[in-house]
Structure 1
Amino acid sequence: MMKPKREIVSRRNRPAKEPLSHELIVKTAYELLKQEGTSGMSMRKVAKHLDTGPSSLYVYVKNLQELSSYVLDLGLGELNLPELRDDDWKDQLFQALHAYAELLIEQPGLAELSLQTIPIGNHAFRLNEYLLTVLQKGGITSTAAAWGTDLLLLYVSSIALEKAKRASELMETAQGYYNEADPVRFPLMNRLKTDFFSGDTASKERFFWAIEVILQGILHKQLGDNGK
């Protein structure tokens, strides 16, 4: 029986690989993040996707932490911030933070990164500058503005990751456990069990309530500090 002839493919006929670069590495890691989450953008997996060895990546990024920062910043390039206006600084703050939350909810991998690393680049700086500008319009300046921006972003990242990870079925299961909790041992929780899961999602009532609480705390603390 004659063996079938094996077709030999010359390396010269293969499509040329795109030269390795910082931009290509970050873009590849970002695509893997969107597909597989943070576990998909290890140095080993990024290198494999680029058909190279992990050691080659370290020429362009120091480590996974730095790569994660660049990837997060690339993702923030998709954030659409409302135009800055002279009126209603608080509404502009709410809308900007909600846009940030929506982006993170759509891409859970970005939400994870936002809690694990600090973004490096102009897209992250643009978001920080926007929030600082709006807070300044509201009379929040200096250290309070810097710390307040960090606190607001931390809250949004946390709530976005929670929403992205929680399926509606899981929420229903959790609510069932709350309803079945012993009212004698947990009287306060029993009385407020409905409130734990309340909040009009469509109007973003609970989200904006939390932002307002944080803002009032910042304003109150700054007023107290200025009165010293």
Structure 2
Amino acid sequence: MSTGREASREEWADRIAALDQPQQPRKEPITVGRIVTTALRMVETEGFDALTMRRVAAALGTGPASLYAHVRNKAELDDLLIGALSRNVVLPAPDPARWREQVLGVLRQLRDEFLRYPGISRAALSAPPTNLDTLRLTEGLLAILLAGGVAPRVAAWTVDAALLYVSAYTFEASLRAGGVDREEVLARLRMLPASRFPHTVAHAEDLNSGGAHERFDFALELMVRGIA
């Protein structure tokens, strides 16, 4: 029959033997922050269409059920992603003398955030925002417009139209990820019969002009100037 002393030695031997066993790495807990970071990385490398709850779960080394404990569904994840990008936008203190420039600056920042993640602006188009970071952006734009003397309703509708344009512009850009062959477009326009399309043929160069974000700036400046 073993004695207490012998049992104690056996336990001691087991502890010593365990020292040579490889230690299993601790699993990092699933959090909303990790889910959002993983989802954004996936969109950045593969595009928004590749994003699913199942794929995010797999990238985190877990099952979809673990994600649903933190994020209710794909729609909520989309809202969180737009919130995360909105949080990166720096909002200036409203300056009545520079309000137009400030509005354009905020919208350009948001444009660049969306362009970094191809197709993600579709999430902004799909449902009204409920994320506080997204609403912070709306609040900031309203503050700038109101400080510039813009009437409340006009300011509210301008924010809505401007954010809609940013989303549409960046979404279209994601659809043209391979770029547009402007020379080919121009050649096709010039092939049109001038008798039926006189203005299109005559101004084909203008219809096909504008590089980088020139058209983006033109449209938003037109919108902002129209407010006054």
TM-score bracket, normalised by the shorter chain, equals 0.7 to 0.9
- Distance across 2 between alignment mates of 1:208 and 1:50: 39
Question: What runs of 5+ residues in structure 2 fail to find an aligned partner?
Answer: 1-20
Rate the CA distance shift 1:132–1:20 in 2: closer, same or farther, 3 A.
Answer: same
Cα deviation, residue 131, structure 1: 0.9
Cα gap change, 1:18 to 1:164, in 2 (>3 Å): same
CA RMSD of aligned residues (A): 2.6
Runs of 4+ in 1 over 4 A off after TM superposition: 216-219
2:137 — aligned with what? Answer: 127
Query: If you compute each CA radius of gyration, which structure gives the higher value, 1 or 2?
Result: 2
CA distance, structure 1, for counterparts of residue 92 and residue 187 of structure 2: 39
Q: Distance in 2 between matches of 1:170 and 1:83?
A: 41
> Scaled by the length of structure 2, what TM-score is found?
0.77
Equivalent runs, 1:116-155 vs 2, <5 Å: 116-155=126-165
Alpha-carbon distance between aligned partners in 1 of 2:195 and 2:202, rounded to the nearest angstrom: 11
Q: Percent same amino acid at aligned positions?
A: 32
Provide Cα deviations, 1:30-87, integer angstroms capped at 9, x if missing partner. Answer: 2212121112320110111122221222222221011110012112222234454342
Supply the AA of the counterpart residue of 1:31.
R
Residue in structure 2 matched with residue 20 of structure 1 by the alignment: 30
Q: Flag the 1:200–1:82 CA change in 2: closer, same or farther, 3 A.
A: farther
TM superposition shift of 1:155: 0.7
Q: Matched residue of 1:178: which SS? A: helix
- Report if the CA contact (8 A) 1:30-1:75 is conserved: no
Aligned length: 207
Q: Does 1:207 align with 2:223?
A: no
Deviation at 1:101, TM superposition (A): 1.6
Cα 1:14–1:40 shift into 2, 3 Å: farther
CA contact (8 A) 1:144 1:218 kept: yes
